[in-house]
Amino acid sequence: MPSTFPDVSKIQFEGTKSKNPLAFKHYNPDEVVEGKTMKEQLRFSVTYWHTFRGQLADMFGVGTAVRPWEDGTNSVKMAQKRARVAFEFIEKLGAPFYAFHDRDVAPEGKDLRETNRNLDAVVKVLKEEQARTGIKLLWGTACLFVHPRYVHGAATSCNADVFAYAAAQVKKAIEVTHELGGAGYVFWGGREGYTTLLNTNLKREMDHLAKFLHMAVDYKRTIGFKGQFYIEPKPKEPTKHQYDSDAAACLNFLRQFDLLPHFKLNIETNHATLAGHTMQHELEVAGSAGACRLSTSALGSAAAMVTSSAPAAATATGFANGSTTSTFMSPTSWSSRATRRPTRENPTSTTVGEPPSSPCRCR
Amino acid sequence: MPSTFPDVSKIQFEGTKSKNPLAFKHYNPDEVVEGKTMKEQLRFSVTYWHTFRGQLADMFGVGTAVRPWEDGTNSVKMAQKRARVAFEFIEKLGAPFYAFHDRDVAPEGKDLRETNRNLDAVVKVLKEEQARTGIKLLWGTACLFVHPRYVHGAATSCNADVFAYAAAQVKKAIEVTHELGGAGYVFWGGREGYTTLLNTNLKREMDHLAKFLHMAVDYKRTIGFKGQFYIEPKPKEPTKHQYDSDAAACLNFLRQFDLLPHFKLNIETNHATLAGHTMQHELEVAGSAGACRLSTSALGSAAAMVTSSAPAAATATGFANGSTTSTFMSPTSWSSRATRRPTRENPTSTTVGEPPSSPCRCR
Amino acid sequence: MPSTFPDVSKIQFEGTKSKNPLAFKHYNPDEVVEGKTMKEQLRFSVTYWHTFRGQLADMFGVGTAVRPWEDGTNSVKMAQKRARVAFEFIEKLGAPFYAFHDRDVAPEGKDLRETNRNLDAVVKVLKEEQARTGIKLLWGTACLFVHPRYVHGAATSCNADVFAYAAAQVKKAIEVTHELGGAGYVFWGGREGYTTLLNTNLKREMDHLAKFLHMAVDYKRTIGFKGQFYIEPKPKEPTKHQYDSDAAACLNFLRQFDLLPHFKLNIETNHATLAGHTMQHELEVAGSAGACRLSTSALGSAAAMVTSSAPAAATATGFANGSTTSTFMSPTSWSSRATRRPTRENPTSTTVGEPPSSPCRCR
Amino acid sequence: MPSTFPDVSKIQFEGTKSKNPLAFKHYNPDEVVEGKTMKEQLRFSVTYWHTFRGQLADMFGVGTAVRPWEDGTNSVKMAQKRARVAFEFIEKLGAPFYAFHDRDVAPEGKDLRETNRNLDAVVKVLKEEQARTGIKLLWGTACLFVHPRYVHGAATSCNADVFAYAAAQVKKAIEVTHELGGAGYVFWGGREGYTTLLNTNLKREMDHLAKFLHMAVDYKRTIGFKGQFYIEPKPKEPTKHQYDSDAAACLNFLRQFDLLPHFKLNIETNHATLAGHTMQHELEVAGSAGACRLSTSALGSAAAMVTSSAPAAATATGFANGSTTSTFMSPTSWSSRATRRPTRENPTSTTVGEPPSSPCRCR
């Protein structure tokens, strides 16, 4: 496949004096800080959704992302091509990791069998690209919130069929993450919560969620997947009350259902502030949980994976335009988030350009 | 056209003891309260967007609205059919008014000429239905926020072409509102605001907005439209700072640019609370502005039109399912809002069903 | 002692038609609801602080409470007199319970010995009044936040002397609660939290807090106190992060340190909303904890004690003026809170009158 | 009078490498930036309340400030001594300005005559100290919120006597500011707002407030005071709704009542964020008002005076302890704010030490 970004070479560290918009000013991968290189300390990852799938739409307008490589279809072929574009982007950016939702990388089919087949077809390409570039998978996850079937939750849905479908989807997502050598697997309970207590049995839904996660833990063992399981706390959206609202709520749940030995937390800056806390607080709470496998550092980062967004994070779009470069760094993962339209979590947005070709979206 | 809701008769007042889900429990149109009938006091209006166009999507998932009459296209023919469905709904509900955005009722065409032609084709049907039913237009408005051209604002866009296009769109929307005998015309500055002050000349953008509104005032005079102009205050979304953030900010702007004699405020409950105020406060501020044509009542409602949403407002969908009826009333307009997915303004949602057939959306 | 409220008789239930300001309109103590009298269902309690000690001051002004029976001193004699006034008030109001902080009912002395002696002197009066009226103690608690020694916390203070002093104070408060036949004992970690993580070892402070509470549990056993221990969740004030920020955070802590069998939660409406939740949510979380001794009702109230305030709650002051009566009811306790100046928790206030005579205040 | 801080010399600029806690690291008064010295650009002022009067109390505990020079009285003599201590502090800090509320510098007497006499006695000392040091008065203001008489407002009180008393107090405060050569005079409507609209006639109260301010403008002319009048926007505390809630609300009010030519805005960072805005936004709104006497700079600072607090601002207490120095700078005034207990505006606090000797407090 010809290069999508032919005019862009690998982004280099050029120091704070550089005026080159496509250069790192602060991130020098080989510089040793506290006994490790910055690359080892800061395990940057490009998240597929933020960078390649978000359309920069909001509740008040259609998307504005410009991605010249898109052909306007949501086909498997386009998904495979997109994967190769993504790896060219990540490779030139110099990020050691990437991360994805299942529905980001491959389209939903007419039934589970076709959907899984679609996923396999793209995973094949991802595998080739991982081998070609040395870029690794930081985590995989299943998108259990975009499709209308999940309107009332996945593991906490009032519909047993939905629970079963979600379980099948997670099963496949763990398999694929395992196949790609993923370092971890993330659960974000996108619609696990309630709109009103008037029609919700909170206790029962929590039981279902615990059951669901225990099944995932069992299956992980069955197939020999050694990656870390994570829960990603987030409050308030899309449901009125998200069960995984903050670190303390997640830990309480994990303790109650004997899941703490199997999970760590994936802390996100905007989620922390949306919960009325600070990022540091959430890290500290996670770090003090006393159930981490790794040793605990000052701010508890060993107990938690960090996800963040940046006001001016590099985007594939911006990259294509040669107009921006990433200057954002966070301890263990790298959300090279396409700037997008506001949710509560991301109240600020900057957008440019034309309407999107695809209505699909994940978190 | 055959009835879309053949099993539903006109909704009647049956009192608080009624168990009939399709009956009014409190709203008795002919009951006299403080010298006027409830129908005269409470000038309920069904808003086209909330009831017939919102897909019940959110930032985390596709729409779930079920509307059996939709054929999956965004054609003029479908728009005309939808208008007749809407009037059957409004008539059976017994609301004396409706309200719409231009892009709700008719699809965007390939250029302004085609777009206007589309609108005219549907307005013809609306006119017939108004005549048939006696239902009147409370207000019209132009949707200046969904299309990507408005990404940086309409009257406050940095692009002169966008200003011109928005002006042409508003011109047509006022003409159509006039033609349909609309009692008012509303301006919601959906994208009039800023994402960051770093690239915004606030003073200049306010000047442009004032210029735009003066042009609208002039044109209203030119064509002899006698309806009231309204500005609808709303803060925080979709831009970080909306210029029309609350009643006080709107009044300050209107005073500064000598527009106060020409505008009143269209106060919305959720917008008031989103601004950190109460609905009562915003009404009081509007009412105390001393620039109202009408006499001022206790809470200043004479200076303001009231828009509200209700947790369990009647929806065309629910109506079709025979499962809900509207028990919501507000002083002068009636947002029979389809329950929808969360924005900041509407943090709670209840949704059911299948994905939407149309990607189009307005506020 | 002569009556303090000679013109007020016992408040009677007179029904919703009554125009008598000193009558219950809804609360009929003897009316059976769901198999129990309202008095049994709604275990109203008058909280000493809210009703007799708060000065109605705020951060921007001195207090405005008017209490003609106060002599302007903070003496033991005044405290004893105040206790008799309180019981006349509670008796006439018909509340079956009262509740207090140690420093509400008796003044701090020059050292612990004198302080305890002061408390004993007033407890003697409380005991007499309980016997005379049949009013019972719902809970006692220790005020570990007003005195400057607690500026950095009590159990979580960086100063071992403060930990010891707090332990001694709690010991005495439990003894006194036991002596008065209290149904429960409440811990509100008023200053257990942090201002900044930069100088805080969160994990260590949580360990200290757990140690402190285990000591209390041990001592309760030692002296044979059978009342229920409660923790009262509250976020954000007075420290930036309160360790007991919400129900989930409390439960996580109680589970982590094997304290869950010994504690239930004392849920407060304003604390719930301040945490970004609803009262119903917090009750539901507490009720679903699976560690309650009592059976769980629909909203989990069995797992939690409920504390609430009301905009127009009866106050001793208003009572004296004959101008207000309490129409506020909540399931198991009754905060007859003197309307007071704003904190974050209580953003609204209505105050009248003259400056306070005493600078002392508790929560 | 002997030195209060004998071990502290004048604070010098020593650059960013200095480890001296009592040295400026960034503020070099004589360094020219954009054509003016930093001293001229940054017109730092020490605010009397924040530095010498706040007790570091909060709603949940008594004060903890340590000020060895205080004798525990609220006498005129103590006030005169405190003024000399303040000037030693300000002089050693090198701030060119100070600012005060009338009740900060001198105690309330038994009536207006005595109160004014008290003020005159201290003003005499302030004048001497100004002459001795060359330090100037940036602004004076009247404290219309601490005394119980102002419980329902000053200019917007429902009590005509309170309006009259407030007017007399402002008259004296303007005279004293004039006498001391103050560069400006600030109005903070501390209790001008409402707790509930149910008992408030907002329109009438705004009329009263406008009348009050017009009287102040007239009196300023009468006595020839040339300083600038400012209104300080602040929302939410202490009343539920403060009339001067943000810059837009103030400007709307000033335009409505023809006061805009006579007032500028005194913008405060915490007040801006409490209103849901940013400091930059509020400055921009003030700057774009088009009614400033001075030319408008990029962020409108010409139209506004800036007040800010800093997490580690220098305090007289800290200064005495030799433990902190001010590293805080803002464009035109300098709030050397004693770190204090939380209000909504100041959610974080760090406090040390012993209880306060004096109950008096102003904003």
d(CA B213, CA B198): 26
Name the average pLDDT for chain D: 84
Please give the full DSSP string across D238-280, using - where no structure is assigned.
Answer: SSSEETT-SHHHHHHHHHHTT-GGGEEEEEEHHHHHHTTS-HH
The three-class DSSP label of residue B47 is strand
Residue C153: how many other CB atoms lie within 10 Å: 26
Q: Is pLDDT above 90 for D349?
A: no
d(CA C22, CA D333): 53
Q: Does C323 touch chain D (CB under 8 A)?
A: no
d(CA B323, CA D116): 72
Q: Are D136 and D130 in contact (CB under 8 A)?
A: yes
Beta bridge partners of C136: C97
Longest Cα–Cα distance of chain B, Å, equals 59
Residue C93: how many other CB atoms lie within 10 Å: 23
pLDDT band at residue C198, thresholds of 50, 70 and 90? very high
**How much of chain C exceeds pLDDT 70, in percent?**
80
Q: What is the pLDDT of residues D195-206, one digit of tens each?
A: 999 999 999 999
Q: What is the pLDDT of residues B84-140, one digit of tens each?
A: 999 999 999 999 999 999 999 999 999 999 999 999 999 999 999 999 999 999 999
User: In the structure, do chain D and chain A come into contact, i.e. share 3 or more CB pairs under 8 Å?
Assistant: no
**pLDDT for position B179:** 98
Q: Which of residues 235-264 of B touch D (CB under 8 A)?
A: 235-236, 241, 245-246, 248-249, 251-252, 255-256
Which residue in chain D has the smallest CA separation from B252?
A: D252
d(CA C359, CA C44): 28
Q: Each residue of B142-171: b (16+ CB within 10 Å) or e?
A: bbbbbbbbbbbbbbbbeeeebbebbbebbb
d(CA C46, CA C69): 18
Cα-based angle D284, D289, D291 (whole degrees, multiple of 5): 135
Interface pTM, i.e. ipTM? 0.85
| Out of C245, C248, C281, closest to residue A197 by CB | C281
State mean pLDDT over C158-173.
98
Helix axes B247-256, B279-287, angle to 10 degrees: 20
Instruction: Reply yes or no on whether A101 is catalytic.
Output: yes
Q: Is pLDDT above 50 for D147?
A: yes
d(CA D350, CA C240): 10
| The residue to which tokens 């004589």 are assigned | D30
Q: Is pLDDT above 70 for D78?
A: yes
Which residues in C lie closer than 8 A to residue A285 (C-beta atoms)?
Answer: 202
Please give the full DSSP string across B132-191, using - where no structure is assigned.
Answer: HH--EEEEEE---SSSGGGTT-STT-S-HHHHHHHHHHHHHHHHHHHHTT-SEEEE--TT
**pLDDT for position C71:** 97
Q: Does A133 touch chain B (CB under 8 A)?
A: no
Closest Cα in chain C, distance from residue D200 (Å): 12
Q: Is pLDDT above 50 for C50?
A: yes
- The token pair that represents D8 in the structure block: 């502290």
H or E element at residue B45: strand B45-47
pLDDT band at residue D307, thresholds of 50, 70 and 90? low
Coarse DSSP helix, strand, coil percentages of chain B, rounded to the nearest 5 percent: 40, 15, 50
Subunits with 3+ Cβ pairs within 8 Å of D are: B, C
C145 closest CA partner among C238, C243, C213, C249:
C238
| CA trace torsion B8, B14, B17, B18 (10° rounding) | -10
pLDDT band at residue C289, thresholds of 50, 70 and 90? confident
Residue type, C40: E
**pLDDT for position B102:** 98
Q: Give the CA count within 13 Å in the CB-facing half-sphere of A226.
A: 1
**pLDDT for position B346:** 61
Which residue in chain A has the smallest CA separation from C280?
A: A197
Residue C207: how many other CB atoms lie within 10 Å: 16
**pLDDT for position B334:** 28
d(CA A14, CA A17): 8
Q: Is pLDDT above 90 for D178?
A: yes
d(CA B65, CA B56): 6
d(CA A259, CA A210): 8
| Residue C50: DSSP 8-state | I
| The residue to which tokens 């300023």 are assigned | D220
Q: What is the pLDDT of residues D26-57, one digit of tens each?
A: 999 999 999 999 999 999 999 999 899 999 99
**Whole-prediction pTM:** 0.87
Q: What is the pLDDT of residues A20-36, one digit of tens each?
A: 999 999 999 999 999 99
D102 closest CA partner among D45, D62, D49:
D49
Are C285 and A236 inside 8 Å of each other by CB? Answer: no
Name the average pLDDT for chain C: 84
CA distances, D200 to each of B196, C21, D241, D298 (Å)? 37, 22, 11, 40
For residue D239, give every residue at least 6 positions away whose Cβ sits within 8 Å of its Cβ, in sequence order, or none.
Answer: C342, D153, D191, D192, D193, D194, D195
d(CA B52, CA B361): 10
Positions in chain B whose pLDDT score sits under 50: 291-303, 308-341, 348-363
Beta bridge partners of A186: A230
Are D59 and C59 inside 8 Å of each other by CB? Answer: yes
Q: Is pLDDT above 50 for C35?
A: yes
State mean pLDDT over A164-185.
98
| Residue A296: DSSP 8-state | P
Q: Is pLDDT above 80 for C359?
A: no
d(CA C166, CA C103): 13
For residue D199, give every residue at least 6 positions away whose Cβ sits within 8 Å of its Cβ, in sequence order, or none.
Answer: none
**pLDDT for position C307:** 58
State mean pLDDT over D339-350.
50
Closest Cα in chain C, distance from residue D143 (Å): 10
Are D151 and C351 inside 8 Å of each other by CB? Answer: yes
State mean pLDDT over A133-152.
97
**pLDDT for position C28:** 97
The three-class DSSP label of residue B8 is coil
Are D284 and B202 inside 8 Å of each other by CB? Answer: yes
| Residue A266: DSSP 8-state | E
pLDDT band at residue D87, thresholds of 50, 70 and 90? very high
For residue C356, give every residue at least 6 positions away whose Cβ sits within 8 Å of its Cβ, in sequence order, or none.
Answer: C55, C56, C57, C62, C63, C64, C65
State mean pLDDT over C123-130.
98
- The token pair that represents D41 in the structure block: 């650009």
Q: Are D235 and D187 in contact (CB under 8 A)?
A: no
Are B202 and D285 inside 8 Å of each other by CB? Answer: yes
Residue A96: how many other CB atoms lie within 10 Å: 19
Closest Cα in chain B, distance from residue D280 (Å): 8
Please give the full DSSP string across C195-221, using - where no structure is assigned.
Answer: S-GGG--HHHHHHHHHHHHHHHHHHHH
Q: Are C157 and C165 in contact (CB under 8 A)?
A: no
H or E element at residue D185: strand D184-187
Please give the full DSSP string across B262-282, using - where no structure is assigned.
Answer: GEEEEEEHHHHHHTTS-HHHH
**pLDDT for position A306:** 61
H or E element at residue A100: strand A97-101
**pLDDT for position D306:** 61
Contacts for A244-248: CB closer than 8 Å, 24+ residues apart: A244/A188, A244/A189, A244/A192, A245/A275, A245/C248, A246/A271, A246/A272, A246/A275, A246/A277, A246/A282, A246/A285, A246/C248, A247/A277, A247/A281, A247/A282, A247/A285, A247/A286, A247/A304, A248/A285, A248/C245, A248/C246, A248/C248, A248/C249, A248/C252
**pLDDT for position A167:** 98
Which residue in chain B has the smallest CA separation from D251?
A: B252
Q: Does D181 touch chain C (CB under 8 A)?
A: no
**pLDDT for position A110:** 97
State mean pLDDT over A142-153.
97
Please give the full DSSP string across D113-148, using - where no structure is assigned.
Answer: HHHHHHHHHHHHHHHHHHHHH--EEEEEE---SSSG
Q: H-type helices in C134-192, by residue range?
A: 160-179
Beta bridge partners of C32: C37
Q: Does A277 touch chain C (CB under 8 A)?
A: yes
**pLDDT for position A346:** 61
Q: What is the pLDDT of residues A32-87, one digit of tens each?
A: 999 999 999 999 999 999 899 999 999 999 999 999 999 999 999 999 999 999 99
Catalytic residue from among C101, C152, C208, C271? C101
Q: Each residue of B64-99: b (16+ CB within 10 Å) or e?
A: bbbbebbeeebebebbbbbbbbbbbbbbbbbbbbbb
Please give the full DSSP string across C315-342, using - where no structure is assigned.
Answer: -HHHHHHT--------SS----PPP---
Q: Does D294 touch chain C (CB under 8 A)?
A: no
**pLDDT for position B347:** 55
Q: Are A64 and B151 in contact (CB under 8 A)?
A: yes
D280 closest CA partner among D254, D263, D298:
D298
Please give the full DSSP string across A37-76, using - where no structure is assigned.
Answer: EHHHHS--EEEHIIIII----BTTB------TT--S---H
Instruction: Reply yes or no on whether A104 is catalytic.
Output: yes
Catalytic residue from among D104, D178, D246, D281? D104
d(CA D162, CA D155): 8
Q: Is pLDDT above 50 for A135?
A: yes
Q: Are D265 and D307 in contact (CB under 8 A)?
A: no
d(CA D179, CA C260): 66
**pLDDT for position C1:** 83
Q: Is pLDDT above 90 for D300?
A: no
pLDDT band at residue A343, thresholds of 50, 70 and 90? low
Q: Are B283 and B52 in contact (CB under 8 A)?
A: no
